[in-house]
């Protein structure tokens, strides 16, 4: 949860990060809207994730995402 009370969750199946506002509005905070996987360090929907697993939010409301990938 950020300092404004917004909640952030990983959506591993869709490879993105969802935000639930204090008003209950759900939106895509980061990652591809269509769930395309990838690994791009960028902001908003320009970012790409592959199986995001965890989130940390610092005192400045920076969101850090942890991904887990198994490769053969």
pLDDT tens digits for range 31-60: 999 999 998 989 999 999 999 999 999 999
User: What per-residue confidence (pLDDT) applies to 72?
Assistant: 47
Q: Distance between CA 33 and CA 15 in Å, rounded?
A: 9
What separation, in Å, do the N-terminal and C-terminal C-alpha atoms of the chain show? 35
Q: What mean pLDDT do residues 58-65 have?
A: 94
User: What per-residue confidence (pLDDT) applies to 11?
Assistant: 93
Neighbouring C-beta atoms of residue 15, cutoff 10 Å: 21
Look up the pTM and report it. 0.86
């Amino acid at each position: 949860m950020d300092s404004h009370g917004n909640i952030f969750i990983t959506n591993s199946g869709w490879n993105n990060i969802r935000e639930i506002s204090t008003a209950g509005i759900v939106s895509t905070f980061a990652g591809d809207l269509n769930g395309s996987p990838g690994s791009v360090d960028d902001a908003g929907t320009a970012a790409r994730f592959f199986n995001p697993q965890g989130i940390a939010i610092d005192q400045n409301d920076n969101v850090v995402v942890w991904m887990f990938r198994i490769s053969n």
